[in-house]
Amino acid sequence: MSTARLTINLQALASNWRALNAKTDVETGAVVKADAYGLGAGPVSAILAEEGVRKFFVAAAEEGAAVRKAVGPDPQIFVFSGFMEGDNGLHFADNLIPLINSPEQFKRLQQAMPSHPFGVQLDSGMNRLGLEPADWAALRSEMESQNPQAVISHLACSDEPDHPMNRQQLKTFRDMTDGVTAPRSLAATAGTLMGSEFHFDFCRPGVGLYGGMPFADAKPVVTVDLPVIQVRAVEVGETVGYGGSWVARRPSRIATVAAGYADGLHRAIGGGIDAFAGDQPCPVVGRISMDLVTIDVTDLPEDPERLRILNGHQTVDDLAEAAGTIGYEILTSLGARYSRGYVE
C-alpha cells in the first residue's frame, strides 16, 4: 500500500447522530455538505438514512445527486445556497429543495420552476446567507402561502455558548418566525448542545456527526494510517527535513511516511503531534512536506510498517490546534489521495 489510508467508522458516525438526537425532543437532520465533510457523502448519507434521518443538507445543488442516490426517494435534501443563477430543473432533478436566500432567488425559482418545493433561509444576524428581515417581511405572506418546507437560520457564534450574539440571534429568529407553520430550525451541532430553546422543530448538526468539536462526547469516526517508506539512522547534530528545522539531540531513527500537506496534514502543524505505533506515540519531527512526514521512531523496539496519525486519542481537533485551525478544516482537507475504507 503506497498511499495513506483513511478509515471511516460508520457505526461511530451513526452513534454520534443518535447521541445528538437524544439531546433533543425534536427531529434531527444531518449536514452532509462538502462530501460529508470530506468523508464521503454516499456512504455517510446511506447509514444516516438507515438510522432514520429524514432531512439532509448540502451546500450546492451539485452535491445533492450523490446524497439522493444514497438515501432513496423519500428524505428531504435541502440546498443551503438556494437557487443560483443558471440553476434549473436539471440541477434540482433529484427533488432537491433550495433554501431561498434573497428576493432575487425567489423570483428566479418562480420563473424557472414555479411549483417546485422550497425552504427559506433567514438572516438573523450572521450576515452571510439568508433573507434580511425587511425582505422577509415583504415576502413572507406570499412565501408562506406556497407552503415552505422549512424556515431556518444559522448562529454565528455558537462555538462560544455564552456569547451574547447567540441569545440575540435566538430572539431575532423568534421574532421573525413567530406564527410560521413550516418547520423551523436554528441549531447546528453547537446549537443542538445549547439546550432546547435553540432546537425549534429540528436540529441540523454537521461536524459533531463526524467526531469533531464542539461535540466533546463524539466518538472518533476517522482513523488515518500512514505507510512507512523508509527508516534511517540520524546522528546527533544532523537535521531532518526542509530548512533543517529539527536537530537530533540523540542518535535517532527517523521514519518517513507517505502523506503530507497535499493530504490535509497542514504544513502549519508545529510540534506536539504524534503518530502512533499501536498505543505508543512517536513525535512528528521536522517540517511537513507535500507528500511526506518524518517521525521519530527511536523509542520503538522495531521499525514500524505504518503509523497512525488520527486515532481515538489524537483527533482532528488536536491536529487542528497544532495547525492553528479548526477540526472542520482538517476533516475537509483530507484529500483525494487516500485509499478509503468504510467500517460498518
Ligand X SMILES: *Cc1c(COP(=O)(O)O)cnc(C)c1O
Catalytic residue, candidates 33, 328, 338, 342:
33
Among 38, 40, 82, 206, binds ligand X (CB under 6 A): 206
Catalytic residue, candidates 69, 107, 171, 242:
242
Verify whether residue 242 is a known catalytic residue: yes
Binding pattern to ligand X, positions 71-100, x when CB under 6 A?
A: ---------x--------------------
Q: Does 31 engage in binding with ligand X (CB under 6 A)?
A: yes
The amino acid sitting at 161 is P
Cis status, amide bond into 214, omega within 30 of 0: yes
Cα–chain-centroid distance for residue 238? Answer: 40
**Nearest residue (CB) to ligand X, 33 versus 287:** 33
User: Dihedrals φ, ψ of 172, to 5°?
Assistant: -60, -45
Q: Does 120 engage in binding with ligand X (CB under 6 A)?
A: no
Exposed, middle or buried by CB within 10 Å (0-12, 13-18, 19+), for 99?
buried
The rounded distance, in Å, linking the Cα atoms of 3 and 256 is: 13
Q: Quick one: which segment of 20-28, 138-146, 182-190, 329-337 binds ligand X (CB under 6 A)?
A: 182-190
Binding pattern to ligand X, positions 141-160, x when CB under 6 A?
A: -------------x------
Among 91, 199, 204, 266, binds ligand X (CB under 6 A): 204
How many residues sit close enough to ligand X to count as binding (CB under 6 A)? 12
Q: Closest approach of Cβ 85 to ligand X, in Å?
A: 20
Q: Quick one: which segment of 172-180, 204-212, 246-254, 333-341 binds ligand X (CB under 6 A)?
A: 204-212
E strand intervals along the chain: 5-9, 27-28, 30-31, 55-58, 76-79, 97-100, 119-121, 151-152, 184-185, 202-203, 222-234, 239-240, 246-247, 252-257, 274-277, 280-285, 293-296, 306-310, 339-343
Q: Does 294 engage in binding with ligand X (CB under 6 A)?
A: no
**Nearest residue (CB) to ligand X, 98 versus 286:** 98
Q: Quick one: which segment of 71-79, 186-194, 264-272, 286-294 binds ligand X (CB under 6 A)?
A: 186-194
For residues 103-128, one letter each, b for 16 or more C-beta atoms within 10 angstroms of the residue's C-beta and e for the rest, the string is eebbebbbeebeebbbbbbbbbbeee
User: Which ranges of 178-234 does DSSP label H, i.e. alpha helix?
Assistant: 189-193
Among 41, 188, 257, 275, binds ligand X (CB under 6 A): 188
**Nearest residue (CB) to ligand X, 211 versus 227:** 211
The rounded distance, in Å, linking the Cα atoms of 100 and 97 is: 9
Verify whether residue 342 is a known catalytic residue: no
**Nearest residue (CB) to ligand X, 58 versus 255:** 58
From residue 128, give the alpha-carbon distance in Å to each of 114, 125, 132, 157, 158: 26, 8, 10, 13, 15
**Nearest residue (CB) to ligand X, 117 versus 119:** 119
Among 82, 117, 205, 260, binds ligand X (CB under 6 A): 205
Among the listed residues 134, 153, 143, the one whose alpha carbon sits nearest the alpha carbon of residue 191 = 153
Q: Closest approach of Cβ 207 to ligand X, in Å?
A: 3
Q: Closest approach of Cβ 253 to ligand X, in Å?
A: 40
Q: Does 207 engage in binding with ligand X (CB under 6 A)?
A: yes
The rounded distance, in Å, linking the Cα atoms of 115 and 109 is: 9
Which cell goes with 122? 433567514
Among the listed residues 152, 172, 26, 166, the one whose alpha carbon sits nearest the alpha carbon of residue 82 = 152
Q: Quick one: which segment of 2-10, 142-150, 202-210, 232-240 binds ligand X (CB under 6 A)?
A: 202-210
The rounded distance, in Å, linking the Cα atoms of 122 and 103 is: 11
The residues annotated with a catalytic role in the active site are 33, 242
**What residues make contact with ligand X under the rule CB under 6 A?**
31, 33, 80, 154, 188-190, 204-208
